[in-house]
Amino acid sequence: MAEEKVKACINLHAVLRNLEDLCELDPMSRKIIQGKNVALKFSVVGISKSVITFTEGKCTAVKGDGPCSINLYFSSPRNFNLMIEGKKNPIPTKGFQHIGFLKNEFTKLADRLSYYLKPTAELLGDKEYARINTILTAYTAFFAIPEIANWDPLGQLNASRIADGAINVEVIDGPAISITAKGGRLETSKGKTANARAFMVFDSIDTASGILNGTLDSYSCIGEGRLSISGFVPMIDNLNKILAQVPGYLM
């Protein structure tokens, strides 16, 4: 099913991708991967692979094929999604000796990730939690955008309406992301791009957090100057329609 495919793409390339940032931002996660040396490949039939490497206390997630020490094979996007939902255990086709990493460290990391991605009002009251939540939520949303743009039928339509060029998204005192459109296909990367054509700036972590967690109305924030938009604005209008599809896939 197309929907399972998009969901799997998002789960892998937007949600799990966050392990990279989680291991940098969260001291507890950093501790979990201390001294580990593992390259985890996710091979899901029908979608791009991803290799998540843990080495020297750092994690990097790279979209595409590459060498690995453990290969996790999923015969369909649905089976991968079930694993993400905790309803199925991953089965390695390579690297049985690392099964302990999967059962222990990887499971703990996954728990840390959902701790940060599933906020409660109480948790958000903690400034450091809110900061990490916002960064990871923003990365999830903006890395999910190309997956929806490239594979979801309505996403493809809205993406086809985005003129070629880059859109910079920036949170003041927080992360920056750029989304590049070319011929209706989108790609997200961390950091700003020079010569972007459109710009979206959240004035603070608080504003970004409120908008991404649905407690602030983005239109009112534009009026109040908390979210500013400039440049070739139609690019952002169409991008936002794709962004609005993200929560539907994360449920």
Residue ranges that bind another protein, judged by CB under 8 A: 154-155, 157-158, 161, 165, 196-198, 217, 219-220, 222-225, 228-234, 241, 244
- Among 218, 240, 219, smallest CA distance to 158 is for 240
Nearer to another protein, 66 or 153 (CB): 153
Residue 145: CB minimum distance to another protein, A: 14
Nearer to another protein, 137 or 158 (CB): 158
Specify whether the backbone of 180 is left (phi greater than 0), alpha (psi in -120 to 50) or beta. Answer: beta
Nearer to another protein, 48 or 240 (CB): 240
Separation between Cα atoms, residue 16 and residue 187, nearest integer Å: 17
Residue 200: CB minimum distance to another protein, A: 12
Separation between Cα atoms, residue 17 and residue 73, nearest integer Å: 17
Cα–Cα distances in angstroms (integers) from residue 197 to residues 204, 226, 232, in the given order: 22, 20, 6
Residue 173: CB minimum distance to another protein, A: 19
- Among 151, 149, 147, 173, smallest CA distance to 160 is for 149
Residue 8: CB minimum distance to another protein, A: 22
Nearer to another protein, 113 or 166 (CB): 166
Residue 153: CB minimum distance to another protein, A: 9
Nearer to another protein, 8 or 196 (CB): 196
Separation between Cα atoms, residue 203 and residue 214, nearest integer Å: 16
How are beta strands 165-171 and 58-63 bridged, if at all? unpaired
